[in-house]
Structure 1
């Protein structure tokens, strides 16, 4: 029986269920934390053998990974709390700094395996190409959003895309074709999304892109060899196909449940780049197909919640920027998994959060922080619009004061006045 002065609780509908996440932003943040934990464990497990042999310190790569993760988390919270529109205002300075860093690697960057990709800093080495990926998405989003807003012809032939092409060319010169393809590829996807081309023009653009990719592959002998060996790596298992063969053997040896954390044997100098490009193979060996499926589902969930944030963004710039970030993070994950599985040629694309790589981790966390900012501001805008509608409806439905008129001796007077 309900006591006097207490309101009876409304019965809860069986169709109303409590959500696991309170918002899309919380989901993205939670998934990111889980991936960070898995990645940190995997970085140590896949690198401690190499670190002990090369640096006499089993924790060498883990300590640097933790430094990068700490810096990345700081940038994540800065990106999440700041209004994402500020990046469009700062774009000239950010672009100039990025291009300057990409040029500087050719003069002061150390040469590693015939490539110059890093800038030496007092406490770490930074790879400017990783930052160029995010800068390219910001440029493309601002360019496409402005043209859609002003109802102008959507075209990639503009100054912003020319700057993106310059960054991609500098990265290709390092050489790093995989990263260069990401820098130019995601902005092209954003153009296709914004332009909404008819099928005929879309096929023409895709054909042109395929021709361009074929040209750059044919320009280097080792790239041709990587594509050729992908179809049958066992024909040259001790040379060109060695990485793919070892990767497939590593994945297969994990079976369904894996060998156990830290027990994987392929990191004992069998699988090259075991803690970087092929870190996922070690993860599969130690955690099995079940662990691999769990990681795949995490990236799938990240794509779904990221797409929801993009769909609910407060403006076209936010929509394109959020979509580009989702394509960047999840797209790289797909490419790396296909590469490790022998379905894609070997390219220098890391698995976000799981592979060792300081610059990649730092800029990926900043990107996800900006994605959270887009969702946060979009949610505030939706609440403001809903509140404005409620206030407008309340004003429209509010009772109006009634003024009655009566006739007294031939005169009209209000019912509230003196007769």
Structure 2
């Protein structure tokens, strides 16, 4: 009897959306370890248990898994149907933050409900991506011109302004920037893109004039040591932490940056602590994980069943990987200091939960598309078998067919 050789699967996943699950799981483990390593000193200084921040992070991760499981199973087309009420609710929360939000570090970004707190601007990120995917897919499918002058993008601009007034320029730029990139994904003409780029540049100049410290941050980015004790302090400490990690790192928990040298060592600058303690080898591995996430997310977007799925998957890829690129560039001193966390690794409840929710939507797009493609192949195979059977009967002589029937 001849043996049938079954090829062994070299990777632990069998599809693009399964790869995303594995990559997210590894990044979550890395983030969990890094949160504990970067916060146990801060927790002890606050007279709390060393694992206090880790416990809060795990609670956020647990809620994130619930949201992930929900968005994984719900057909992504249904979010389009619920988008109106959800978007209006998020807008109301943003207005409430401006009116009665809690001030933290000079900014109104949080709503506190007893021991529980959340940041509505994080909801606005995925909401803006869904709004852009909805209106752009509608225009593509109905062969309408692609432009930014519509009610949906006006609403996204409102979300941008509301978050900018908190102020939170980093999050505001994510809310508006990704939908603008999605215009290019939908086929916006080149000359319109150029005009849009000029408008964006003028807007950045205007925001720098409105808040002069932003212009100072841009200047300091080119030479942070010129103001090492002022505007350039975080960048200098961050770059120093990265350089001191060397090839192998100082060892887990042995880094010095978290000893009050580096502000926001567990949130926006968590990657600097990771670099100092783990060195070049593990840093390269984390960069590879984000690169693989982008690769498989692009494949899901490419193979999505409809235009809405393609644009939504592409927007979610930009939401996760784009924030990672901005955060890592900021930590390395290649980008001005902005409040953009590192997905899965930075400490932050609302950001982590909404990132996991977004990844669940991305996986649902992959699962839905694969199921539809499998069904279409099966239907085509059945049609071909039926045609072949009918052709065989038609070619058979009538007398011979009658004898067979008898």
Q: TM-score range by the shorter chain?
A: over 0.9
Instruction: Looking at secondary structure, tell me which structure has more helix per residue.
Output: 2
| 1:122 Cα deviation from its structure 2 partner | 3.5
Determine whether 1:10 maps to 2:4. Answer: yes
Distance 1:338 1:394, change over 3 A: same
Determine whether 1:327 maps to 2:318. Answer: yes
Q: SS state of the match for residue 145, structure 1? A: helix
| Distance (whole Å) between structure 2 residues aligned to residue 342 and residue 224 of structure 1 | 15
| Distance (whole Å) between structure 2 residues aligned to residue 29 and residue 267 of structure 1 | 30
The runs of at least 4 consecutive aligned structure 1 residues that moved more than 6 Å come to none
Deviations 1:344-401 (A, max 9, x none): 0000000001111111000000000000000000000110111111111111211225
The 8 Å contact of residues 147 and 188 in structure 2, kept in 1 or not, is answered as no
Deviations 1:194-241 (A, max 9, x none): 02423x433332222222222212321110110010010101111111
Report the TM-score, using the length of structure 2 for normalisation: 0.95
Distance 1:147 1:291, change over 3 A: same
| 1:10 Cα deviation from its structure 2 partner | 3.3
Distance 1:192 1:55, change over 3 A: farther
- Please give the root-mean-square deviation of Cα atoms over the aligned residues, in Å: 1.7
Unmatched tracts of structure 1, length 5 or more: 3-7, 407-413
Which residue, out of 225, 237, 241, partners 2:232? Answer: 241
Q: Which residue of 1 aligns with 2:380?
A: 389
Which residue, out of 119, 122, 125, partners 1:127? Answer: 119
The 8 Å contact of residues 303 and 330 in structure 1, kept in 2 or not, is answered as yes
| Distance (whole Å) between structure 2 residues aligned to residue 17 and residue 135 of structure 1 | 37
Determine whether 1:154 maps to 2:146. Answer: yes
| 1:108 Cα deviation from its structure 2 partner | 2.9
| Distance (whole Å) between structure 2 residues aligned to residue 263 and residue 164 of structure 1 | 44
Which residue, out of 282, 293, 297, partners 1:302? Answer: 293
| Distance (whole Å) between structure 1 residues aligned to residue 259 and residue 398 of structure 2 | 98
Determine whether 1:288 maps to 2:273. Answer: no
Q: SS state of the match for residue 76, structure 2? A: coil
Distance 1:289 1:415, change over 3 A: closer
Q: SS state of the match for residue 389, structure 1? A: helix
| Distance (whole Å) between structure 1 residues aligned to residue 120 and residue 130 of structure 2 | 16
Determine whether 1:226 maps to 2:220. Answer: no
Number of paired residues? Answer: 401
Deviations 1:141-172 (A, max 9, x none): 00000000111111111111111111111000
Q: Which residue of 1 aligns with 2:252?
A: 261
The 8 Å contact of residues 107 and 166 in structure 2, kept in 1 or not, is answered as yes
| 1:56 Cα deviation from its structure 2 partner | 2.9
| 1:113 Cα deviation from its structure 2 partner | 1.8
Deviations 1:282-336 (A, max 9, x none): 0000000111111100000000011111111111001100000000100000000
Distance 1:405 1:87, change over 3 A: closer
Q: SS state of the match for residue 297, structure 2? A: helix
Report the TM-score, using the length of structure 1 for normalisation: 0.92
The 8 Å contact of residues 42 and 279 in structure 1, kept in 2 or not, is answered as yes
Determine whether 1:206 maps to 2:197. Answer: yes
The 8 Å contact of residues 155 and 195 in structure 1, kept in 2 or not, is answered as no
Determine whether 1:163 maps to 2:152. Answer: no
Unmatched tracts of structure 2, length 5 or more: none
Q: Which residue of 1 aligns with 2:18?
A: 26
